[in-house]
């Protein structure tokens, strides 16, 4: 696991980009997908994920569709057009940040 401090500020970016790449997903699925992609290094907590999803929806970046799996509820999230645009912005913002940081820390990435 990574120092959780570093994760701060990246959660929205992660959620938006994963939804952009993978299409329709529900909350729990996002946590599992991120866990897989990160080989167990990034574990999204529910207490952080669900409020973030609600916030992104309220801001018009995600739209939802609730379905019943037998007796269990599942809430699928998809990017809106605005969401797709923000996803792109956030990712390039992150990449810029990394480039700046590698200058400041004098490290080679990749």
Point out which span in 70-78, 79-87, 91-99, 102-110 binds DNA (CB under 7 A): 70-78
Spell out a b/e string for 13-33, using b for 16 or more CB atoms within 10 Å of the CB, else e.
bbbbbbbbeeeebbbeebbeb
Q: Strand pairing partners for 67?
A: 74
- Minimum CB distance to DNA smaller for 32 or for 85: 32
Provide Rg for the chain, Cα atoms.
15
Question: Does residue number 19 form part of the binding site for DNA (CB under 7 A)?
Answer: no
Burial class (CB in 10 A: 0-12, 13-18, 19+), 36: exposed
7 binds DNA (CB under 7 A): yes
Q: Is 9 in the site for DNA (CB under 7 A)?
A: yes
> Minimal distance in Å, beta carbon 62 to DNA?
11
The smaller minimum CB distance to its own copies, of residues 64 and 92, is found at 92
Residues that bind its own copies (CB under 8 A): 2-10, 13-14, 17-18, 21, 34, 37-39, 41-42, 91, 93-110
When CB distances are held under 5 to 8 angstroms depending on the partner's kind, the choice from DNA, its own copies, none that residue 80 binds is none
Distance CA 107, CA 110 (A): 10
């Amino acid at each position: 696991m990574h120092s959780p401090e570093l994760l701060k500020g990246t959660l929205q970016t992660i959620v938006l980009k994963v939804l952009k790449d993978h299409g329709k997903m529900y909350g729990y699925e996002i946590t599992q997908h991120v866990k897989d992609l990160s080989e167990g290094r990034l574990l999204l907590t529910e207490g952080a994920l669900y409020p973030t999803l609600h916030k992104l929806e309220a801001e018009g970046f995600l739209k939802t569709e609730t379905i019943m799996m037998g007796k269990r509820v599942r809430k699928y999230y998809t990017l809106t057009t605005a969401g797709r645009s923000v996803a792109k912005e956030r990712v390039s913002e992150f990449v810029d940040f990394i480039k700046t940081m590698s200058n400041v820390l004098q490290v080679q990435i990749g």
